[in-house]
Chains A and B, each alone.
Chain A
Amino acid sequence: MSRSTVTAKPPAPGLVPDTRGRRLPRTLHPVAWWIWALALATAVSRTNNPLLLFLVLAVLGYVISMRRTEAPWARGFAYYLYLALTVVAIRVVFRAVFATGITPRDHFLFSLPHIPTPDWYAGIQLGGPVSLEALLSAATDGLRLACMLCCVGAANTLANPKRALRVLPGALYELGVAVTVSISVAPQLVQSVQRVRRARRLRAGRHKGLRALRGIVVPVLEDALERSLRLAAAMDSRGYGRAGTATRRSRRMTGALMLLGMCGLCAGAYGLLDATAPQLLGLPALAAGAALCVAGLRLGGRRVTRTTYRADPWLFPEWAVAGCGVLSAALLFSGAGFDAAELNPSIYPLSWPTLPPVPAAAILLAGAAGFLAPPPTASRVPAQRTEETT
């Protein structure tokens, strides 16, 4: 009981490099960025207020321009923005085509040709008058989805997708290849587009329209597939996807536990979201599923031994970045200090949205990650070059 705890000794003064008061550049733990971004996306899912959504976009832009590295996947945020714009545009077009009704109080903008539907199908209208209110509410609805998309894009831009794999539990090693390919597919596609476009420019490719599209899409798909295969081969040579010393019986046991646990999680989520489902399907099923999954991971992880070379540390900046993201989501969900109606301002009738101070402050707080994270390593030789020479 009287054992004294040994505190970590600070490094000897001679070993600390002189940084002239600036923090040492290093890359933040990728999981910290993912927690931050997913928490922000959760916060965004709560609100429909265009002012708050634009604030989220600004904060994302600030953090990315402050803390992105020079890696190839870190240059792709603009592509996520294009994707977000497409989402908004699709939402607006759908609302205009599948008319949701216009009232005399709405502001009439234009009229699309109306396609009459039979009486027994009168619930759905095609075409007809389009009001400003309808387009604005579709745009804000799309903007919310676009913001969530940009949050995930920010995580992909800021975090190194391959280092994120290291924190995978041992039992998931068998799934490791699939997981890596799935979380790195977006960054890989972005890189491929960039490389193909650069190659086209070098060869003075000046095609426009469909021909240019064919010239980009085919090489991009081919490139992405090749890189995925290369990644899978590299992981295979490092021992991923091996059963290790596990016996057939323990592997089957692990598989059964995981499968049952996943089914429990699905049923639990369904029970929680559908209010008419029986009570037993909600939290109990969720808890049972989680317990089964943990047991499966434990059992599977016991047989896998692995070593890590230069593990990513989890220090104060990691806590700070993940914490400010989670705190902003918690503030938006708590509803403390603001009216829940302000998060979802009404468009019918048209009125200016308000800017509730607490949610706005919460979103700005998430932006603190821009200076809480250590500065990225400014590599003289960009990682892009070294990778391309391989």
Chain B
Amino acid sequence: MTAHLARVATALGLAAAALAVTTSPAGAAPQPMGQCTTSSGVVLAVDFSHWGGPVYRSCGTTPTTGYELLNQGGWATTGTGHDGPAFICRIGYSGYQGGKQYPTPQQDDCVLTPPASAYWSYWHAGPGADTWEYSQLGAMLYKPEPGSVDLWIFGGTDIEGTRGRPTVTPGQLRAHNDRPTGGGQPAPEDSRSAPALPPGTDTGPAPKRPTPTPSAPVSPSPSTSASPSPSATATPTPSASTAAPTPRTRVLDAAPAADAEHDAGSYLPAVATGALVLLVGGAAVYAARRRRRTE
């Protein structure tokens, strides 16, 4: 029992020490949407329409991972207690509802892996591709190629791939400009200086090289039922800076924002609980002593 207590005390001490250390800032490179072009940068899109919100899209530099894209420029995610941060359970953006992460704790407590009927599913569309592809890798292992689109939608999917496909098309979300727009310096590729990962981190398989023919597959056939919104015209308009919205979903550009301030909270509840546990435990020890005396 004393060994147990000692171990607990060590764990708490470690936690306290870790809380005291200032966290290093997330150093990935979020970009204004205009910096993403057909061949550079990755567009990240998150669909909040399940909660009546818009589809936000933002831009990030490569190389990156799906997880890094979702945790920079005001975006933040929460994992599950069972699977760790690699399983994206909640997504929030500081510019939407004050950075509140969805689904809310009332909708999903994010302790166990969420059910297949209500979770954030991850979709890719490579450069120039017109259909969404369900991600075969987790957010931490997937490395999007330059010019591709990453989409997160909330809902349910089935194994056949008939349910839960995105209603927006890649053409609505991707960047159509050949060169960076919106003023400022064009973001040079690979200029990002993220903090070094700890040694031995597995960063997954190498990213696929971008195919240099972004205009090859330009004949989407709506009758193949791959994209359920045939009304969206996927004709590339190189000068458009915002995507053509459909009546159902609004697509908004999410400007890079500061990360929401993280508050480590107060240690007082822990101390209070410690006192309570000591009190109850003391009562138990007293009862045990008295029982031994009367025997």
Interface residues in chain A, defined as those with a beta carbon under 8 Å from any beta carbon in chain B:
48, 51, 54-55, 57-59, 61-62, 64-66, 78, 81, 85, 95, 99-108, 111-114, 116, 119, 122-123, 125, 127-129, 131-134, 136-137, 139-141, 274-276, 335, 339-341, 343-344, 346-355, 360, 364, 367, 370, 378
Q: Which of B84, B137, B205, B291 contacts A100 (CB 8 A)?
A: B84
Q: Tell me which residues across on chain B come within 8 A of A100, comparing CB atoms.
A: 79, 83-87
Contact A349 B23, beta carbon cutoff 8 Å: yes
Is B284 in contact with chain A by the CB < 8 A criterion? yes
Among B1-19, those with CB < 8 Å from A are 1, 4, 8, 11, 14-15, 18-19
Contact A340 B106, beta carbon cutoff 8 Å: yes
Is B240 in contact with chain A by the CB < 8 A criterion? no
What does the 1/0 interface line of B139-175 toward A look like (CB < 8 Å)?
A: 0110000000000000010100000000000000000
Q: How far is the CB of A380 from chain B (nearest CB, A)?
A: 9
Is B276 in contact with chain A by the CB < 8 A criterion? yes
Q: How far is the CB of A167 from chain B (nearest CB, A)?
A: 28
Q: Tell me which residues across on chain B come within 8 A of A140, comparing CB atoms.
A: 81
* A360 to B55 Cα, complex, angstroms: 40
Contact A339 B105, beta carbon cutoff 8 Å: yes
Contact B200 A343, beta carbon cutoff 8 Å: no
Is B21 in contact with chain A by the CB < 8 A criterion? yes
On whether A340 and B273 interact (CB within 8 A), knowing A104-B27, A104-B194, A122-B137, the answer reads no
Among B245-293, those with CB < 8 Å from A are 262-267, 269-270, 272-273, 276-277, 280-281, 283-285, 287-288, 291
* A299 to B38 Cα, complex, angstroms: 75
Contact A61 B86, beta carbon cutoff 8 Å: no
* A103 to B265 Cα, complex, angstroms: 21
* A81 to B111 Cα, complex, angstroms: 24
Not counting A105-B71, A137-B84, a sample of 4 additional A-B residue pairs whose C-beta atoms are within 8 angstroms of each other reads A101-B138, A107-B18, A112-B200, A275-B118
On whether A101 and B86 interact (CB within 8 A), knowing A128-B201, A352-B266, A378-B295, the answer reads yes
Q: How many residues of B contact A (CB 8 A)?
A: 72
Q: Tell me which residues across on chain B come within 8 A of A111, comparing CB atoms.
A: 198-200
* A134 to B262 Cα, complex, angstroms: 18
Contact A378 B84, beta carbon cutoff 8 Å: no
* A354 to B109 Cα, complex, angstroms: 16
Q: Tell me which residues across on chain A come within 8 A of B67, comparing CB atoms.
A: 101, 103
* A105 to B111 Cα, complex, angstroms: 21
On whether A347 and B81 interact (CB within 8 A), knowing A54-B273, A54-B277, the answer reads yes
Contact A114 B200, beta carbon cutoff 8 Å: yes
| Interface residues of A, dominant DSSP | mixed
Is B117 in contact with chain A by the CB < 8 A criterion? yes
Q: How far is the CB of B85 from chain A (nearest CB, A)?
A: 5
Q: Which of A48, A62, A105, A141 contacts B280 (CB 8 A)?
A: A62
Is B24 in contact with chain A by the CB < 8 A criterion? yes
Is B294 in contact with chain A by the CB < 8 A criterion? yes
Pair count A-B, CB < 8 A: 184
Is B212 in contact with chain A by the CB < 8 A criterion? no
Q: Tell me which residues across on chain B come within 8 A of A340, comparing CB atoms.
A: 105-106, 109
* A85 to B2 Cα, complex, angstroms: 12
On whether A61 and B280 interact (CB within 8 A), knowing A48-B81, A127-B200, A344-B81, the answer reads yes
* A255 to B161 Cα, complex, angstroms: 43
Contact A114 B202, beta carbon cutoff 8 Å: yes
**Beta-carbon nearest neighbor of A66 in chain B:** B287
What would 25 A/B residue contacts be, using CB atoms closer than 8 Å? A51-B269, A51-B270, A58-B280, A62-B280, A85-B4, A100-B84, A104-B27, A105-B71, A108-B198, A111-B200, A113-B200, A114-B200, A116-B202, A123-B137, A125-B202, A275-B156, A339-B105, A344-B105, A344-B111, A346-B78, A352-B19, A352-B266, A352-B269, A355-B273, A370-B287
Q: Tell me which residues across on chain A come within 8 A of B209, comparing CB atoms.
A: none
Contact B81 A123, beta carbon cutoff 8 Å: no
On whether A51 and B284 interact (CB within 8 A), knowing A103-B85, A119-B205, the answer reads no
* A120 to B10 Cα, complex, angstroms: 40
Is B182 in contact with chain A by the CB < 8 A criterion? no
Q: Tell me which residues across on chain A come within 8 A of B11, comparing CB atoms.
A: 136, 139
Q: Tell me which residues across on chain B come within 8 A of A132, comparing CB atoms.
A: 14-15, 18
Contact B194 A65, beta carbon cutoff 8 Å: no
Is B53 in contact with chain A by the CB < 8 A criterion? no
**Beta-carbon nearest neighbor of B11 in chain A:** A139
What does the 1/0 interface line of B72-111 toward A look like (CB < 8 Å)?
A: 0000001101111111000000000000000001100111
Q: Tell me which residues across on chain A come within 8 A of B109, comparing CB atoms.
A: 48, 340, 343-344
On whether A122 and B141 interact (CB within 8 A), knowing A58-B276, A100-B84, A129-B198, the answer reads yes
Contact A355 B272, beta carbon cutoff 8 Å: yes
* A145 to B27 Cα, complex, angstroms: 37
Contact A101 B267, beta carbon cutoff 8 Å: no
Is B218 in contact with chain A by the CB < 8 A criterion? no
Q: Which of A81, A95, A105, A364 contacts B24 (CB 8 A)?
A: A105
